Structure 1
């Protein structure tokens, strides 16, 4: 190796194979004999290979370049096209071309004595690669004289899914863009043929531009086809993947009582009218009994039992117990499916409002799937499964449609993470939940049929969120803790929570994709347990970084196994309820450390969202009451969890964000804005209503909106703030302070105080405040003590009540009068009132009714 200095060097090789490095400066390099490698480095260098097979290598664009007004290009004096090479592999160029899109072009100077190799594309500093060769090489140079960046062939990123279509049914299959990728960023072109190179069957076409297969096989095309799709990068790189396409034979019955028997292959059995017996045999079969009382036997394989009309299987108890219900004799949990997608049912429930109920007969030998709502003729859908399936049959064994406006366009958005994400699935006393609000609002905003929640046979939600879970678990954790691990940091492998979630969601996705086109996304809410882990860490920043990296690994694993194009909507981790932590016996340093841990988690979540376009920070909820605040008796030491009402609001906020992100329009104005708290509470800026619960004497404060605030049975202080507020104290000796705006105040039972703090918050006529239930007999008071009754003096003067008399014409300052249900006050000498308060239903007041 021969090394130059930072100056202008002349470096001469030997007769051996030399590596000559010019370094900085305008150098002259001569290889002499031998197979040499010459690297001029930075500067305007002159390179002579000499005898032998020489390589002229360029490691950086600044080794040889041109700017708008400056040339610093190297010159090769003796390039031998029969043996020498120009190595540009480090610069990323892909070949010869027009000088754009990573290519280089060849040009000749005006005298025909020098050949240039150039790029037309400049870096951020305006530098573009240029190299000169002495002599005319324009008709000689080819890509074989260069060492370009090696082309990386495309890869399969998501295997193509096998497809199935019945004879005489329309087939369409769009190859997802995410199925193939090219590391070089080359544009891919696509082609399709049968495995082995044969052309596609005549009934099947492939649109390469849209990556879409389409066609309709007739009754002669049943069979198995293996279709190969090839992605090419235009530079010699290509990759192929195949999918199996099964065209199922269709066996069709008559209008009578038929017996249809399948073969070991995949078939469709259509009974038609009559009481039919369908026995499919082996194979992955579809069975549709049609009208009449049918017996369906799938046999071995993955079978689908399909009902397309509610009169395919029904009972009518008003017509002497008419029973035309079908019976499935050999349903296999987790293997077979029952397709009800055309009937509008949404899942399991009480058999009403689009749900189905599961009932076991007295003998325990048949499980009935029932709709308790009848049609106009008294018929109600019902079919039976031979055997006891209670506790084992789940919604994932069915293919349900949705009643939303999207038809077969389904948006599937499950909630994952830990307890606050899981809590969105929990229904409160009003039969609503965060998930139900999310689904209802998204269907309203988007027109999709939206699914988030699957139920088991007992009507319980199938949860994929795990309370108390972490993304930084270890494979050596206890058996109980292992179940709560999303990721194992010691083995860099998925934990049980992640594996279970993928297993469940794959099944649920498959059942939905069988009914239509599915857009898949996920809600992720996790971080509470990791905040506590960070709190205990000696190096909190390192622990936070590990949390971030592990969360991203969980996200990547989910997308790789479920849908590479899925968006993940994060719920930012919320507050830590410090009063509840005190009741747990935690020390203040420990509490402070956990609060700090939350701040780290929130910071990492914000970084993830800012760095990844597929992850969105969709909702925060630090302004909403937690369980310990809504019900401090029942949930006194609950440090993490949102109340039922808060969960519903989170669902609504998620729907607004997600709708906007999908290109639709959410409507925050229609959200529930009522929160409930059993501790002192101030409404955040976007909330309108507050209900104080529990039995403690607590306070409620509004914001700048038009608030509605209800007290509990204890003594409350209610403050409306700005806006036209309604305050209702309830039982107890309450203090009500309307604040600015047109306020309506109800004290409720007991001696209440209606407090008016500032003249600027009071008005006249239609803008005056209203007291709706003033009751002097209960001891109610109107508190004007903070008002200066006579502005002309330096003292804070008290008002004098003059009954219903008119204000003085000479000096009305400091006078209060009450007439026609309106209390009026004057703070200056003229006889006009400066403020009024309406008292509904009150005919008389006296001085003792005031605090002045």
Structure 2
């Protein structure tokens, strides 16, 4: 079980695949408990339950089935998807749920909800859902069953989807869509908007309450024909039905036929309302005017009926003119052709349809559907928070904030100088934030996320994703088992959980740090520090004088050009250099044998370790322990430092009689117990077996093989050995300083 804690700032907190406890604490937090199949399958043997405590502040929480979700103080919003069409039979069960006045209740599937001011529920497609949200502000999406959906006094949005539904919204200014079945809708008090699909068989019953209500009748989205409406009763609330192309009054007589296209199939004029003149439809050279008050009478509640604004197959101009329903939300679909849509002051939804369309949103939080390279979105400064939903590669205009890529095509999305939210689709996308503090959300696929300037939040998903980080405040978030992901960074960067790789960009001396996984860290041309952390990591430094620290685990480190330093703490660590790539150093806390092309080895710590050189000219330093130091071939400089150290020579070639190949022990100290081990050298080549040396002090060689002597000169001590009895030295080791040696100074 993981515990994830926020602080008093505005946090973005994401759960794991296991059971979590998530505490938002203070601030306006965004929390996602991470739904998973184990949450969703009703028959799961080991269901996973998360607990989310939003804390103070205005929080946004996305929960899953079976979770315990607690809102806390502030204006909190909860979103739960109760529907899951998984591979397990019965994985999506019908939901029964009633919330009290505090936004508290327990669903039939075990989900516990406490203290939320507004909710968004996506209900099960299987069976008949029964949901009552009380006075909490709600957005409900029903399933394919016969659902009973009830809301209270808030401004709610309810969509019945399939099935024959009963929807009751109570007070508030509600938006209601019955869906494709035969629905019964009770609007209650408030200014309600009803969406009725008259393209399906059967008749919906719409019961209007007090308030100024609007009914939108949708026959088709931008089809080639006309939109025809019939009102069968003057009594508001007694319903309406489709009647093949006429608009009738309460007595059943023909009032007027609305033909919203000219002879060429083009809708060229605006739809507008004037207080005294009623509603005018202008089509080509013909204009038809009628007064809504002449068509709806009886209770005199002021209710009007309004069709969805739809275009035709030609080049249409759909224009909103106030004061016609000023401030209300409109749906525009221009259909085919090169159309122009000018919306009003509400939160409008604009669909250009096929062709090169111009969509002008105006005030309000508007949404645009873009599907053509010729589509143009026009927004003014400070005209709301607007969103483009695009099925093609798209760059946001200067005054539009959000972009959502739709469909399954491999397309890209680019932001602007504002603080953008850009969401990809399920394909491979390139999401680029530009300036501003942006939110980039991967929708699936192998995506490229570029934050740009500003402190950006980039959230990956399934697939092998790549992130470009340009600011210290950028954040990258990945879930467990969501691909092999890479961060390319121009600043110091530490990998977050579930991200595998980092590549440093540019030439600055920036640093990279890994996480607990098996990471790949790649440096740039500057002086970098690469720290692998836990795991079996791969570090590639590139040019520059770099520091490579593998961390725990068996790491492979490549320094490249420059004088590099490797920090080794595992016997499986490798430091790899090529010829001519600088003077390179290994600092090791474990026994270590130098790879080819490494020049210097430094042991650190207090353990008794072994340091073994290579065939080159090495510098080898012991630590504070009792070390065994092997120079091997080449002219080596050996430092025992503290402790009783043993300098080991395995062959006469390890230290030559010539100065050019002779090893130097820089700090030999008899008092510390330092010794020279020559047991690996056969002292008498003329006899079978491995013979030991005889130390003769400062005497000259007598011509007997196996003699070992010392010679003083220049303030230093020279050790010489004769292995063939010719009276001449066959190897020599120089000790810095005047050293008084005896038999105990050697292992022979």
Same-fold status (TM-score > 0.5): no
TM-score, normalised to structure 2, is 0.30
Greater relative contact order (Cα < 8 A, sep 6+): 1
Q: Which has the higher strand share?
A: 2
**Under a length normalisation based on structure 1, what TM-score does the superposition of the two structures give?**
0.26
